[in-house]
Amino acid sequence: MKKNPVLYLLTALLAVGASRPAQAQQTVVAEQIVAVVGGSMILLSEMEQTAKQLAEERRQQGYTSDKDPRCEALEHLLMRKLLANQAQLDSLKFNEGRLTSAVEDRVIQLTEEMGSIKALEAFYKKPIFQIKDDLKNQYMEIQLAQMMEGSIREVVTIIPAEVEKYYRNAPKDSLPMIPEQYVYAQIVMFPPSMEAAKLRAREQLLELRQRIINGDRFSTLARLYSADGSASRGGELDAQPKQGFVKPFADAVDKLKPGQVSEVVETEFGFHLIELIERKGDEVRVRHILIKPQFTPEEMAVGENRLDSIAGVIRDGKMTFADAAMKFSQDDFSKYNGGVVTNHEVVEYYGLSAKATDIRFLREDLGPDYQQIRGMKPGDISESFSTYDIRGNQITKIIQLQETIPTHRANIKEDYLKIEELALAQKRNKVYDEWLKKKMAAMYIKIDPHFASCEFDNSGWIK
């Protein structure tokens, strides 16, 4: 499958941002323009930096390319500029809040590496606001390019007849091997002391709220106490419409004015304090502190002992696993299905298409459950064990292995979704390539003669 030139470098570029000090010294080159795409220029220093990053990525991945790294870097940048230019022509709107957060995160990282803002400014010979502007422009271009490419590919759909045609025409040895898969059932219980744990979490947040009222910084307390991944950013979340939050969270945000802090809010993820930073159009910027109910080993052991007793009843043949799941399990996604686990919760959580729901799991998709499944035979029941659900809540469970599906080459009967994914990717690539050829022909593109001999994947860059 053809690599996506924009997405391929996105992680690297966000990680690099402004170059590190050693890199900066090596790339202080006269600002020679090596290419122009639409209204955007590609500088020699920008191309050199991208080439180094490509080479380093490939070194870490254990392979090299026969192509000139500068030519490869130039094509990556040409693609990004073309897409970003078209996105602006099409008036695509980027996420300002996400952009601001990305810039702030990178500045914090650079400041920590350099030791201080003053040292950062001295090294790059720019005031901090200009460093932020440079990063913002770069990140904005990347985001626009992503959005433009996504808008082209995501509208492409596929019907079953096309999937079948793809499968018939594809050389069978070109289809991927599907690793061993597992079908299993579970019985899940939350600790019986949940209410006591919730009360402890609520009381902790009430104490933190009082500290904020007394003058402590919300962001500092978020870094110290929040269980959310946003803790490193002082609890700040990406700007988004309030509808993007779960309802209790959104309802609380709706009542706040900038600078105000909410009462304690309970959601499926735990308990929150929320501070509204700003409201801009339909989007809001907030920061929050998340505290999850926590349990002592003794509290967790109560649920484990109960599940071990249930497992014993099933092993003695007094009850089937499916009946026990219906009677005892507290997981609504599996108890009504005989306890059989699906990825429906993940599909729903991430807003994916319902047709992606499956009961077969690869080893890497099982998480901690694999440690229990490994070595089991179909019909075996595990001992009870404590783990976490998709929302990070502590739970206890037992599992029964239902079926082990051996490694096999993908086929349309057993692996329709995988075949559909491959067929759709092929169709999207074709549509995207056709779109790209038209845009390359229509958009102003000028490349420095020194690089006109580059062997690009797309010949349309040279006019």
Q: Which domain CATH number covers 323? A: 3.10.50.40
The helix/strand/coil state of 69 is helix
Same domain, 348 and 370: yes
pLDDT tens readout for residues 362-401: 999 998 999 999 999 999 999 999 999 988 889 999 999 9
Domain that holds residue 203: 194-291
Q: Is the pTM of this model over 0.75?
A: no
Helices (H), 29-127: 44-61, 69-89, 96-114, 117-124
Q: Across the strands, what pairs with 372? A: none
CATH at 67:
1.10.4030.10
Domain match, 81 and 107 both = yes
CB 378 within 8 A of CB 403: yes
Same domain, 148 and 237: no
Instruction: Tell whether 168 is covered by a domain.
Output: no
Q: Is the CB of residue 179 less than 8 Å from the CB of residue 404?
A: no
34 and 135 both lie in a single domain: yes
The single-letter DSSP state of residue 447 is: E
CA contacts within 13 A on the Cβ side of 384: 23
List, for residues 320-355, the tens digit of each pLDDT value: 999 999 999 999 999 999 999 999 888 887 777 777
Give yes or no: residues 145 and 60 share one domain. Answer: yes
* Domain shared by 90 and 199, yes or no: no
C-alpha separations of 163 from 167, 408, 416 in Å: 6, 19, 8
Q: What is the Cα–Cα distance from 111 to 253, expressed in whole angstroms?
A: 32
Please report the pLDDT score of residue 77 as a whole number: 96
Pair 285, 210 in one domain: yes
Same-domain status, 182 and 105: no
**Mean of the pLDDT values across residues 113-127?**
90
- How many domains is the chain partitioned into structurally? 3
Question: Minimum mean pLDDT among 183-187, 208-212, 452-456: which range?
Answer: 452-456
13 pLDDT higher than 90: no
In a domain, 33, yes or no: yes
Does 169 reside within a domain? Answer: no
* Averaged pLDDT score across all residues of the chain: 89
Indicate whether 100 and 207 sit together in one domain: no
pLDDT of residue 289: 98
- CA torsion sign, 229 to 235 to 238 to 240? positive
**Is there a single domain that holds both residue 24 and residue 100?**
yes
| Chain center to CA of 246 | 18
- Considering the domain boundaries, does residue 417 fall inside one? no
Q: Average pLDDT for residues 278-294, to the nearest whole number? A: 92
163 assigned to some structural domain: no
Residue 167 lies in a domain: no
User: End of a domain among 291, 306, 321?
Assistant: 291
Grade residue 98 by pLDDT with cuts at 50, 70 and 90.
confident
Residue 166 forms part of a structural domain: no
Residue 53 in any domain: the answer is yes
Q: 22 or 246: which carries more pLDDT confidence?
A: 246
Domain identity same for 258 and 271: yes
Tokens of 183: 């079908």
In single-letter form, the type of residue at position 54 comes to L
Domain boundary among 291, 326, 349: 291
Question: How many Å from the N-terminal Cα to the C-terminal Cα in the chain?
Answer: 27
Same domain, 208 and 305: no
Tokens of 7: 């997405």
Evaluate if residue 186 carries a pLDDT over 80.
yes
List the beta strands (DSSP E) in 307-393.
361-362, 385-388
Q: Note the pLDDT of residue 345.
A: 84
* Residue where a domain stops, chosen among 291, 319, 347: 291
- Continuous segment of H or E residues that includes residue 149: helix 128-153
